[in-house]
Amino acid sequence: MINRTTPHFNITRPLIYYPWLILVFFILKKFDLFTIHPKWSTIILFLTVNSLVLLLVYKILLFFLRERLKAWMLASVMLIFILYYPKLIELLSEVRSLKTFLTSLPGLTKPAIFLLLYFLIVILFNKYKGPLVELSKYLNILLIVLILYILFAIYSQNPDKITLAEKLEISEKGDPKINSKLPDIYYIILDAYTSNQSLKDYWNYDNDPFTNFLIDKGFHVATGSKTNYNITEYSLSSSLNMSYLDNIPRRRTENPVSILNLKNLTKNSQVIKFAAKNGYHITNLSFFDLPGSPSYYDDFYTVKRSLIDGTTYRGFLKRMSFNFTDVDSRDKIFELEKINPGILNSLKVRDKKDERPNFIYAHVMMPHDPYLFDEFGRIHENDSVFINSLKDRYLGQLKYANKLLTGTVDSILKNYSSGPVVIIIQGDHGYRYLPQKNKIDESMTILNAYYFSDGDYTNIYNSISPVNTFRVVFNKYMDAGLPLIKDVSHDVFYISQ
């Protein structure tokens, strides 16, 4: 009796779950932050369309291959190509020998190459004669485990885990200081602007003419300065709170939950509150919300994204001139073409009617990727602007940022020929994509330049870091009595890789 029933339980045609589990996995990755995810109606439509595509590709492959398991596996490979095409391009671009080749290709050539690659995979896989039953079972189990892990990660998120190591007790209301004329304060962040020494060491570029220009204008350049954290949100939430951070996760430090946590810390910035208490009018030209002052432009890297954002579908529909109800974050990033120069140009003008002191926070996404500009300000128009490891593009955009900033500094100083002003020009972190072993050190080095109109830089030292920037400024101009703390750099970028 046992011998008769045993064959019925010998699975030679395993149930195929993994193609649809790939879809579920892809969708769940959009749920890194559960409160921000695609609409359920969009998810159902996405599942339906991709299921039909999957079945169509499977039927075509089955017709030619005549093997069910091979057809499902190759259909799944096609699905991965469709869903992760930009990621695959980015991954291949990490190979030095392929980077230049891929960036030089015109728009439709890369998809054609991937299509040829897929046909080659089909031909080679068709010649494979080994058993596929166990592999199919393994893929089913692997995808289920990954999905369960993601679900656990989503529902165990703590959006308030990261805290300030030292929260300064500063009330939001108080009498403005009237015993002296307070200076206007310009806090200009040039995202990912590295140090002169790094530019010499890794780009063979001499940036001294730019920093010498600043020195000639009366700036003090802290040549040994390093950032406290090598990710923007960590760096700014620290510097704008004059504090280090506690409870930093040791994994996935760029995930949306941590970013939201850090943005909330910045939204309650102790620096801004202290400035407001002393009568400052706050001007926010950044992608962060500040106390009482909303962001000036979107954070295009962490905004809500649609399900087809970054997939092959998006590129195909764009070429068909399809009008999207949602906007691709990659498309919106190109708005920085106008935003970056616009911020620096806006700093050239001062409202002389406003008698209050001004605190202006200007965050310019340069020389950080996307590498929209060459050194002359001409626009790069292909997808290579998103390949963050292109050192020549980084350098070109840095040179253009120098040119813009030169005009901005000249104009600001002309506006304050007789009045007090503070200008801080600072990188929030360095360049993070060196292949060498010292890439962590490079990601920490920054440009850090200070202008005090009285020329007194007694408390500015060569290795000052952003966490002490406003301790020095507020002590100097508002008698804040804030002790300086030890300058330390923390790697929060590479531990997440």
Residue matched to tokens 């469709």: 82
Quick one: how far is CA 163 from the chain centroid? 21
Same domain as 254, residue 277 = yes
Environment class of residue 192 by beta-carbon count within 10 Å: exposed (0-12), middle (13-18) or buried (19+)?
buried
Residue 59, judged by CB atoms within 10 A of its CB (0-12, 13-18, 19+), counts as exposed
Going by C-alpha positions, the residue among 31, 29, 22, 85 that lies closest to residue 54 is: 22
Half-sphere exposure of 488 (CA within 13 A, CB side): 10
Same domain, 343 and 285: yes
Could you tell me the CA-to-CA distances from 20 to 79, 82, 147, 456 in Å, in that order?
Answer: 10, 14, 12, 66
User: Facing residues of 449 across strands?
Assistant: 221, 425
In a domain, 318, yes or no: no
| Number of domains composing the chain | 2
CATH of residue 286: 3.40.720.10
User: What is the predicted pLDDT for the residue at 7?
Assistant: 42
For each of the chain's 497 residues, which pLDDT tens digit applies?
A: 444 444 433 445 668 899 999 999 998 887 765 555 677 888 899 999 999 999 999 999 999 999 999 999 999 999 998 898 877 877 777 776 676 776 666 666 777 788 888 899 999 988 888 788 888 999 999 999 999 988 887 777 677 789 999 888 665 444 444 435 899 999 999 999 999 999 999 999 999 999 999 999 999 999 999 999 999 999 999 999 999 999 988 765 667 778 888 999 999 999 999 999 999 999 999 999 999 999 999 887 665 557 777 677 776 666 665 544 444 556 678 889 999 999 999 999 987 777 789 999 999 999 999 999 999 999 987 767 878 888 999 999 999 999 999 999 999 999 997 789 999 999 999 999 998 778 999 999 999 999 999 999 999 999 999 999 999 999 999 999 999 999 999 999 887 55
Structural domain for 272, as ranges = 170-300+335-496
Boundary of a domain, candidates 155, 181, 198: 155
Q: Same domain, yes or no, for 87 and 219?
A: no
Helix, strand, coil shares, percent, the chain, to 5? 50, 10, 40
30 and 107 both lie in a single domain: yes
Pair (57, 131) in one structural domain: yes
Report residue 477 as tokens. Answer: 């101009």
Q: Is residue 25 part of a domain?
A: yes
Whether residue 100 lies inside any domain: the answer is: yes
The verdict on residue 255 lying in a domain is: yes
DSSP string over 160-208: T--EESS-----S--PPP-SSPPPEEEEEEETT---HHHHHHHH----H
Residue 301: Cβ-neighbour burial (10 angstroms; 0-12, 13-18, 19+): middle
Closest CA to 310 of 86, 469, 488, 29: 86
User: Residue 8: what pLDDT?
Assistant: 38
458 located within any domain: yes
The pLDDT value recorded for residue 32 is 60
Residues 196 and 131 in one domain: no
In a domain, 72, yes or no: yes
According to the model, what pLDDT value does residue 328 have? Answer: 54
The domain boundary, picked from 92, 125, 155, lies at 155
What is the per-residue pLDDT for 33? 57
If asked whether residues 228 and 288 sit together in one domain, one would say: yes
Same domain (yes/no): 253, 359? yes
pLDDT recorded at residue 177:
45
* pLDDT reported for residue 155: 76
Per-residue confidence (pLDDT) for residue 427, from 0 to 100: 98
In a domain, 69, yes or no: yes
Q: What is the DSSP pairing of strand 184-190 with strand 220-221? A: unpaired
Of 130, 155, 180, the domain-final residue: 155
Pairing of strands 281-285, 245-246: unpaired
Length, in residues, of the chain? 497
Element (DSSP H or E) covering residue 220: strand 220-221
- Is residue 142 located within the same domain as residue 218? no
Any domain includes 308: no
Q: Cα angle at 488 between 482 and 494, to 5 degrees?
A: 140
